[in-house]
Amino acid sequence: MTITLPPAVVDASASEKLVWVVLDESGPLSAAELAAQTGLSQSGVYNALGELRSRETVEKRRDPTDSYTHLFHTIQG
C-alpha cells in the first residue's frame, strides 16, 4: 500500500505524518482516539495536531454528539 502525503506534510515530523495518515484513513477522530490508535501520548498528539492545523492539513470540529469533544479530520486539497 502506497500512501501519498500532501506537499504540506512531506517535511513534517514522523509523529505528524503518523497522525495525518491515521486521520486520513480512519477520521474523523478525537485526540484520545488518535492517541490510542497511534501509541503517541495525548500531548504528543496535540502537538502534532497543532502543527498539522497550522499547515492547514487538518481541521477541528465539535463532535455533534458530545459538545465537549472535538473531532479532527484531514483537509484534502
pLDDT tens-digit series, residues 38-59? 999 999 999 999 999 999 999 9
Residue 41's pLDDT is: 98
Confidence of residue 62 (pLDDT cuts 50, 70, 90): very high
Contact call for residues 64 and 25 (beta carbons, < 8 A): no
Confidence of residue 1 (pLDDT cuts 50, 70, 90): low
Q: Region 5-13: what's the mean pLDDT?
A: 92
Average pLDDT, the chain: 94
Residue 74 pLDDT exceeds 80: yes
Specify if 18 maps to a domain. Answer: yes
Residue 35 pLDDT exceeds 70: yes
Residue 51 sits in a domain of what CATH number? 1.10.10.10
Specify if 1 maps to a domain. Answer: no
Specify if 54 maps to a domain. Answer: yes
Specify if 35 maps to a domain. Answer: yes
Specify if 2 maps to a domain. Answer: no
Range of the domain at 35: 7-74
- Structurally, how many domains does the chain consist of? 1
